[in-house]
Amino acid sequence: MDPKEFYLSKPWLKYYPKGVPSEVDVPEISVPALFDRMADKYADKTALIFYGNKISYKKLKELIDRFAAALADLGVIKGQTVALYLLNCPQYVIAYFAALKAGAKVTPISPVYTSKEVKHQLEDSEAETIICQDILYDNVEKTGISLKNVILTNIAEYLPLLKKQLGKSALGKIYGEMHVPTPKYMEEAGLLKFQTLIKKYPPRPPKIEIQPREDIAVLPYTGGTTGLPKAAILTHHNIVSLQAQTVSFWPIFEEGKEVVIAFLPFFHIYGQVVVMLNGLVQGATLVLFTTPDIDDILSAMERYQASGFYGVPTLFEYLKDYEKTDRVNWKRLKLIACGADTLHESTIKDWERRTGTKILEGYGMTETTAVSHSTPYDRPKSGSFGVPIPGVTAAVVDADGTEFKGIDEVGELILHGPNMMQGYWKRPEETKDSIIDIDGKKWLRTGDLVRMDEEGYFHFFDRKRDLIKYKGYSVFARHVEEVLYRHPQIKAAGVVGVPDPKVGQLIKAYVVLQSDARGKISEEEIMEFCRQNLAYYKVPKIIEFRGELPKTDVGKVSRRELREEAEET
């Protein structure tokens, strides 16, 4: 069969769990309307648990409606951008749905951003209103941007009485250099209080007509390979589609009966869509965590009988060796999922040996509304991130063109489906490069190098930008890292290519040793280990020991920062 026709035939459908459809019916509805349906249906059920404080669906809907009315009275109208500069907390959920109800689009800002990064996102997204954690306001003020509305909230507002001071002190350790504005300053600067607005306005949100396929719901920013982050345009239809697709792929979850631990940051597409949105529009109870305290998370999983656990590779790498991991009956969970980066083989094996359970990998991007592939719960395959979810067509093409690659040939992953972004916000050239037309069908170029096996399962190799060219050979940074992680004394590793006029790129490995091995193992010993386990051209030519490696917002090693460092030196 012609390679293109083979992809279009969707060979992966044969291995879908029983009852999972090939396509899904996506309702023509907005995101807040979808939430309202669930809130009315499960009014008395607990929607959020925040350090012991329980908020029902009925109460959550009331708070959202009150805040939506407040935003409308403050002049927020359809099409405007509302920025959320918040940690995980009930206020995030309230502000998110309220802004959408007011007809606005939301742009989530990472709490770890510097004032320079905050300024870029506020200006680029054209935000006029921001809902901000009071301990983060310093960075907003330093941008020098004049915003129409600045609404501040404190993490303790929804904490139980006994935990209010504890919450403040815990965050104080993390954001110790940040200063909370005084009441006098707030009044003089015209800053608004979240709780004052909630109490002032009745739960009567504005009547806004939302066109799900046309109206933008979210502008999440994604880091570019070079330059400043750019926003993916996600409509209400994109988000509602993803919800319908994932619900159909996971029939083991029962509406209104699940409990999900929500510690992944909501500003990131993974935590925002997979955990927060998918949870709430399925009537689940979300156990919210502002900071990912491992002991608290493990305790909550047993206390609230969690049925779903979503993590990232670095977390599973930590948990597989953590002394308290066995406190959780992992076999009871319906799903243990990993996303945002590729799991190392050693982590998978050690986890299975420790817990007797499997981590099911998924794949997605900000541009795919968080998910495009997932592992069938009843048929995982080692080394694969799974198959396309219902409604998604995936294919592998030449990394520099559009010629379809054959089975098991490595090329760039391209995707088609209702959850694909509309383009990049105010970036027509980058949109043109990323969304391509092949025979009248629009595909998203992911920039990821993968292969598809004969059963339609996909296997990740590397980001296209992380491919290292050494003397004409193609070296996948991830493959070298996999070998390094097998060394018993290596805790973390990151591999990049360093420009070299003679060979193209030299392979450089940044290595973090286990604490008891530091000063005892040499660079040459690491190279010798690589020589024994890699083809000669894949062996790193430079080894640099580090105490720690730079991480992205979701905890994966930032090759981009390492590459920039290597190029500078």
pLDDT in tens, 246-269: 999 999 999 999 999 999 999 999
Number of domains in the chain: 3
C-beta separation of 361 from 385 below 8 A: yes
Pair 149, 282 in one domain: no
User: In the chain, pLDDT over 90 holds for what percent of residues?
Assistant: 80
For residue 496, the enclosing domain spans: 471-568
Could you tell me the CA-to-CA distances from 29 to 25, 285, 366 in Å, in that order? 12, 22, 21
> Has residue 220 been placed in a domain?
no
Q: Would residue 548 count as lying in a domain?
A: yes
Residue 18 clears pLDDT 90, i.e. is over it: yes
- Domain contains 547: yes
pLDDT recorded at residue 167: 56
In a domain, 126, yes or no: yes
Q: How confident is the model at residue 174 (pLDDT cuts 50, 70, 90)?
A: low
The type of residue at 235 is: T
Residues 318 and 348 placed together within one structural domain of the fold? yes
pLDDT for residue 173: 52
pLDDT recorded at residue 524: 94
Q: Residue 218 falls within a domain, yes or no?
A: no
Say what the pLDDT of residue 551 is. Answer: 84
Q: What angle do CA 442, 445, 449 make, to 5 degrees?
A: 145
Average pLDDT over residues 80-89: 97
Helices 31-41 and 236-249: angle between axes, nearest 10 degrees: 50
Tens of pLDDT, residue by residue over 119-152, are 999 999 999 999 999 999 999 999 999 999 999 9
Residue with tokens 């959020």, as numbered in its chain: 48
Q: Are residues 154 and 246 in the same domain?
A: no
Distance CA 62, CA 66 (A): 6
Same domain for 245 and 381? Answer: yes
Give the pLDDT confidence of 22-81 residue by residue, as tens digits: 999 999 999 999 999 999 999 999 999 999 999 999 999 999 999 999 999 999 999 999
**Of the candidate ranges 169-183, 386-400, 427-441, 463-477, the one whose mean pLDDT is the lowest:** 169-183
Query: Is the pTM higher than 0.85?
Result: yes
Q: Are residues 151 and 261 in the same domain?
A: no
pLDDT surpasses 80 at 442 = yes
pLDDT at position 177 is 61
User: Which domain CATH number covers 324?
Assistant: 3.40.50.12780
Which pLDDT does position 224 carry in this prediction? 47
455 and 495 co-located in one domain: no
- The arithmetic mean of pLDDT across residues 489-504, rounded, is 90
- 563 and 450, same structural domain? no
Determine which helix (DSSP H) or strand (DSSP E) holds 38, and give its type and residue range.
Answer: helix 31-41
What gap in Å lies between CA 372 and CA 220, rounded to an integer?
A: 17
Tokens at 406, concatenated: 């054959």
**Claim to verify: residue 254 and residue 182 sit in the same structural domain:** no
Q: Tell me the pLDDT tens digit for each residue of 532-557.
A: 999 888 999 999 999 999 987 777 78
Instruction: Give the mean pLDDT of the chain.
Output: 93
Q: What is the pLDDT of residue 566?
A: 84
- Does residue 222 lie within any of the structural domains? no
- pLDDT band, residue 560 (cuts 50/70/90): confident
The partner residues of 193 in beta bridges, in order of sequence, read: 152
Q: Quick one: pLDDT at residue 16?
A: 97
Of 209, 243, 267, the last residue of a domain is 209
CATH number of the CATH domain containing 181: 3.40.50.980
